[in-house]
Amino acid sequence: METSPTGADPRPSLPTDPSLRPLRAVVDLGAIVANWKTFQRLSGAAECAAVVKADAYGFGATPVAQALARAGARSFFTATIGEAMAVREALGPGPAIIVLNGPAPGEEGAFRGPGLVPCINSLGQAARWSQSRGGACVAQIDTGMNRLGLRPEEATEAAALLREEPPFLAMSHLACASDPANPMNEEQRARFIAAAAAFPQARRSLAASAGAQLGAAFHFDMIRPGVGLYGWDGMDCAATPLACAAVVTAPVLQRRKVRSGETCGYGATFLAPGDLDAAIIACGYADGFFRTGSGRAAVAFGGEALPVLGRISMDLLIVDASACPALAEGDRVEIIGPTIAAEAAAAAAGTIAYEIFTTCVGRAGKSYRHAAF
């Protein structure tokens, strides 16, 4: 190693990891636990599970699952077996870890060692699971999404195939729960009750974050909130107040004058109507700050929203900082947090908070607060 005359490494703090981007997220595990408890209160006597798929929606599956397990969560859902293995590693034996995607052909044996529970989503999976003497499983019934799960009319045959490995949970998923007035909610509930009767010994679960807010008739024995744990209630009209679970920030690289009549960014789409002060932020679409938010999104500093000017670049964006004379090079602006809610950022980019979480929070370098919960 090259050393300076004093013997010290001359570049001790240079960020040499090319995967390390300037975007940072401080994840508040206390807020995630508080949000889980909000859903637990909402669920009454029903169990409140926790969905931690996609690296806990970008917030980090290991610290999130550990915090929720300490708070009392007993069932965790992941999308894939790889995610489930990581959660088992994080939690040790005890909590149920349920894999929504189910076992691929030949994968059945991989569930048993770490005690992972697959969703059985088809008659083929039911037959293979039974042949492999797989043990505990969950029957997922599709009641209207045509996504994953047994068709309702297959439930009886699946129950027969799984005679020796009876599912301890029968579950389904709502397509339109974000809209309480949608008649499909009640239609799916009725279809679920009818099909789940094929598994009389199983507990029942229908509601995710939004469904849990449709009332006790949707709670059955377990609710499965995901996005609500991370701070968005999942409803078209905000219904349940939740705590902000991450503050994502990026640094100011430069402050510069823009003169009246000049333009900003690629395509010269922003034309300055008067002199203004721009700040150049080290955050772009490679950080999950969607380019579709060009000219519409905002960041914030000291509670003040700073609108994005012109197009968002790969690693940079330009904001109007005229209202914040104190904002200087090296300061960090809020990308997501108490001022810029994920659902507002999502609306500006033409997407949903789920995608802001999985990309923006997901790609940020993360640190954790309230980790001692």
Ligand X SMILES: *Cc1c(COP(=O)(O)O)cnc(C)c1O
Active-site residue set: 53, 266
Q: What one-letter code names the amino acid at 311?
A: R
Q: Is residue 342 a contact residue for ligand X (CB under 6 A)?
A: no
Q: Which is nearer to ligand X, 179 or 331 (CB)?
A: 179
The window from 82-90, 202-210, 214-222, 304-312 that contacts ligand X (CB under 6 A) reads 202-210
Between CA 319 and CA 210 the distance in angstroms is 34
User: Do residues 68 and 36 touch, judged by C-beta distance below 8 A?
Assistant: yes
Q: Minimum CB separation from ligand X for residue 324, in Å?
A: 34
Answer yes or no whether residue 224 interacts with ligand X by CB under 6 A: yes
Closest CB to ligand X among residues 227, 283:
227
209 touching ligand X, by CB under 6 A: yes
Whichever of 209 and 294 has its CB closer to ligand X, that residue is: 209
Does 102 contact ligand X by CB under 6 A?
no
Q: Shortest Cβ distance from residue 208 to ligand X (Å)?
A: 3
What are the structure tokens assigned to 336, written together?
């997501």
- Minimal distance in Å, beta carbon 53 to ligand X? 6
Helix spans in the chain (H): 29-43, 53-57, 61-71, 81-91, 108-112, 123-131, 155-161, 184-196, 209-212, 342-349, 353-356, 362-363
| DSSP for residue 62 | H
Task: Give the number of residues in contact with ligand X, rule: CB under 6 A.
Answer: 13
Q: Which residue is nearest to ligand X (CB)?
A: 226
Least Cβ distance, residue 308 to ligand X (angstroms): 27
User: What residue type is 53 in one-letter code?
Assistant: K
User: Which of 58, 95, 134, 234 touches ligand X (CB under 6 A)?
Assistant: 234
One character per residue 40-59, x = contact with ligand X (rule: CB under 6 A): -----------x-x------
- Expressed in angstroms, the distance from the first to the final Cα of the chain is 41
Structure tokens at 359: 């990309």
Interface stretch with ligand X, choices 14-22, 102-110, 223-231, 274-282 (CB under 6 A): 223-231
Residue 88 or 173: the one with the smaller Cβ distance to ligand X is: 173
- Residue 18 CB-density burial (10 A; 0-12 exposed, 13-18 middle, 19+ buried): exposed
Does residue 227 touch ligand X according to CB under 6 A?
yes
Tell me the C-alpha distance between 195 and 142, whole Å.
9
**Residue 185 binds ligand X, judged by CB under 6 A:** no
Q: Which stretch binds ligand X (CB under 6 A): 29-37, 183-191, 227-235, 267-275?
A: 227-235
228 lies in the site for ligand X, by CB under 6 A: yes
Nearer to ligand X, 209 or 339 (CB): 209
Instruction: Give 62: exposed, middle or buried? Use CB within 10 Å, 0-12, 13-18, 19+.
Output: middle
Q: Rounded distance, CA 283 to CA 76, Å?
A: 33
Please report the DSSP string for 167-203 in residue order.
Answer: -SEEE---SSTT-TT-THHHHHHHHHHHHHTT-TTSE
Q: Does 208 bind ligand X (CB under 6 A)?
A: yes
Cβ-defined contacts of 143-146 (< 8 Å, 24+): 143/172, 143/173, 143/188, 143/191, 143/192, 143/195, 144/175, 144/184, 144/187, 144/188, 144/191, 145/173, 145/175
**Contacting range for ligand X; rule: CB under 6 A; set: 187-195, 203-211, 306-314, 316-324:** 203-211
At 366, is the secondary structure helix, strand, or coil? Answer: strand
Shortest Å, Cβ 242 to ligand X? 12
Which residue number, 90 or 227, has a Cβ lying nearer to ligand X?
227
Q: Report the SS3 class of residue 327.
A: coil
Please identify, among the stretches 124-132, 218-226, 278-286, 341-349, the one whose residues bind ligand X according to the rule CB under 6 A.
218-226
Binding site for ligand X (CB under 6 A): 51, 53, 100, 173, 208-210, 224-228, 234
